[in-house]
């Protein structure tokens, strides 16, 4: 069996929860039987730490105090107390090894007991192992908060939860982030649309409805659901992605453009053009004349073409007031006859006088 096929089968045998944890880097797989993390590999440390602290407390307050370093080893203890200490250390190591992946477990094997293992993990993921590590962790987390952006089609609620987790990790390093600064980071990370732009305006003006990050998150989730509703209406009624037109169409049964007459005229014109195109295609298939739509000749030799041109010429003549050469010539003869008659009349009058 090739390595690639073996890896494929291994992935197929993965539990569904593990596949989801691999797909989303912040998700932690939790055992349904014990309620403790399994195969943890460094993601979402605050959540993992809280789960492990609960696991320590379930085993007893003595286990929690020993793991967190509250209770220290004393050489003056009795043999029974020393044996209880060793049992507690084994219990802590078992809990930690069962909760992490193989890579992280191999790193923890260098520690001598359960207390040192938990201190190693806390110092590494809290960024408290030394001052330089803590400073670098602060800069990294703050930069991630500043540069976080959610796309137009992104998961708004998941993105906001991601930013809240970054804030918790930043606070774990000892850096407190002001609510006003964090509120600005939240609204700046949201995509640009009508509702989220309105939310940014509310934050900039200092309205009470967005005075805390929790209120901003709640309002952003509400706006996101409203945007999704508008998009669903737009798809249902065949409108645009902007929700206002689709919502109006859903309520009134027609779009605002359909109320005017311009769209109807355009529709009629399109229908007429489509009908002409269909007729021309049919004539081409049947080898008919494009003028009279009958077979046996072309449009150039169509017998109706002359009558059509004559009709068009007559229409032009009547509309323009031009009556043709013959009529103009007749009018010329009439004018000539009137002139000769006038001359004869004048001549006759003159003869009478004589």
Question: How high is the pLDDT of residue 14?
Answer: 37
What whole-number distance in Å separates Cα of residue 118 and Cα of residue 138?
22
Q: Does position 181 have pLDDT exceeding 90, yes or no?
A: yes
Average pLDDT, whole number, for the chain?
A: 76
Kindly state the DSSP code that residue 60 receives in the 8-state scheme: -
**Which pairs count as long-range contacts for 204-207, CB under 8 Å and 24+ apart, including other chains?**
none
How many other C-beta atoms lie within 10 A of the C-beta of residue 200?
17
Confidence of residue 310 (pLDDT cuts 50, 70, 90): very low
- How do residues 58-80 score in pLDDT, each as one tens digit? 998 889 999 999 999 999 999 99
Quick check: 165 and 44 in contact, CB under 8 A?
yes
Burial class (CB in 10 A: 0-12, 13-18, 19+), 43: middle
Q: Is the model's pTM score more than 0.85?
A: no
Question: How high is the pLDDT of residue 296?
Answer: 76
Provide φ and ψ at 222, rounded to 5°: -65, -45
- How do residues 198-250 score in pLDDT, each as one tens digit? 999 999 998 999 999 999 999 999 999 999 999 889 888 875 544 444 444 44
């Amino acid at each position: 069996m090739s390595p690639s096929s073996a890896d494929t089968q291994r992935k197929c045998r993965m539990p569904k929860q593990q596949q989801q944890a691999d797909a989303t880097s912040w998700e932690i797989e939790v055992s349904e039987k014990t309620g403790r993390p399994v195969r943890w590999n460094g993601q979402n440390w605050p959540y993992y730490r809280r789960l492990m602290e609960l696991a320590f407390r379930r085993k007893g307050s003595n286990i929690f105090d020993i793991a967190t370093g509250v209770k220290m080893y004393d050489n003056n203890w009795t043999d029974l107390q020393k044996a209880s200490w060793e049992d507690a250390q084994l219990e802590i190591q078992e809990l930690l090894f069962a909760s992490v992946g193989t890579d992280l477990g191999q790193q923890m094997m260098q520690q001598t007991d359960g207390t040192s293992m938990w201190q190693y993990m806390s110092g590494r993921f809290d960024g408290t192992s030394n001052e330089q590590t803590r400073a670098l962790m602060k800069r990294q987390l703050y930069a991630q908060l500043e540069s976080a952006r959610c796309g137009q089609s992104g998961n708004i609620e998941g993105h906001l939860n991601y930013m809240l987790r970054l804030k918790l990790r930043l606070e774990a390093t000892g850096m407190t982030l002001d609510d006003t600064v964090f509120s600005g980071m939240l609204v700046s990370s949201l995509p640009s649309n009508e509702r989220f732009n309105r939310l940014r305006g509310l934050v900039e003006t200092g309205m009470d409805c967005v005075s805390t990050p929790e209120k901003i998150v709640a309002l952003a989730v509400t706006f996101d659901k409203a945007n999704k509703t508008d998009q669903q209406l737009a798809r249902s009624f065949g409108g645009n992605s902007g929700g206002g037109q689709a919502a109006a169409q859903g309520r009134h049964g027609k779009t605002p453009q359909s109320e005017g007459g311009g769209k109807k005229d355009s529709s009629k014109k399109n229908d007429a053009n489509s009908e002409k195109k269909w007729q021309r295609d049919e004539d081409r298939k049947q080898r008919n004349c494009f003028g009279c739509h009958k077979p046996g000749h072309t449009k150039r030799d169509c017998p109706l073409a002359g009558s059509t041109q004559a009709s068009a010429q007559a229409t032009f003549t009547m509309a323009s007031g031009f009556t043709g050469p013959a009529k103009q010539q007749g009018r010329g003869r009439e004018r000539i006859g009137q002139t000769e008659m006038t001359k004869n009349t004048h001549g006759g009058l003159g003869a009478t006088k004589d």
